[in-house]
Amino acid sequence: MATMLQKFPSSVSTLNDYNALYPDWTQREVSTGVYTVPVGGMMTRQPVSVGGSGSSYIYGFVDSNYKPAMSKEECLKFTAEALTLAMERDGSSGGVVRLAVISEQGVERQVILGNQLPKFSTV
């Protein structure tokens, strides 16, 4: 993890400038979760975490819908829905969801364009 943090662009002056999430996966031990580095800078490992400008809008959704040991498909659906809900309320978020699945086979990337995002009624 320390090696990865050293590779951040020099434009990021300190860990206090951003909130970051990092996947937890090693070949020796398959585990689930993320390492989160909140604005304060302390890195912790958690089963699920949210961060970024839209995160304050989705805590209830995450608390209600996250389940341990979700299948890959369930996890992708959960993540796409959470990001979509955050983007609907957050003026700083873009209109596309980029997902990545990290496994022993490598990294599988998926892009969901705005017209393909889940639909929610936010009236």
pLDDT per residue as tens digits for the range 18-47: 455 655 555 555 566 777 777 677 778 888
pLDDT per residue as tens digits for the range 61-102: 999 999 988 888 999 999 999 999 998 888 777 789 999 888
pLDDT per residue as tens digits for the range 98-123: 998 887 788 899 999 988 988 886 55
Domain extent listing, the chain: 1-49, 53-123
Which of left, alpha, beta for 52 (phi over 0: left; psi -120 to 50: alpha)?
left
| Main-chain dihedrals φ then ψ at residue 61, nearest 5 degrees | -60, -45
| Main-chain dihedrals φ then ψ at residue 83, nearest 5 degrees | -65, -40
Distance CA 35, CA 70 (A): 18
Q: pTM of the predicted model, to two decimals?
A: 0.73
**In the 8-state DSSP scheme, what is residue 53?**
T
Exposure of 35 by Cβ count < 10 A (0-12 exposed, 13-18 middle, 19+ buried)? middle
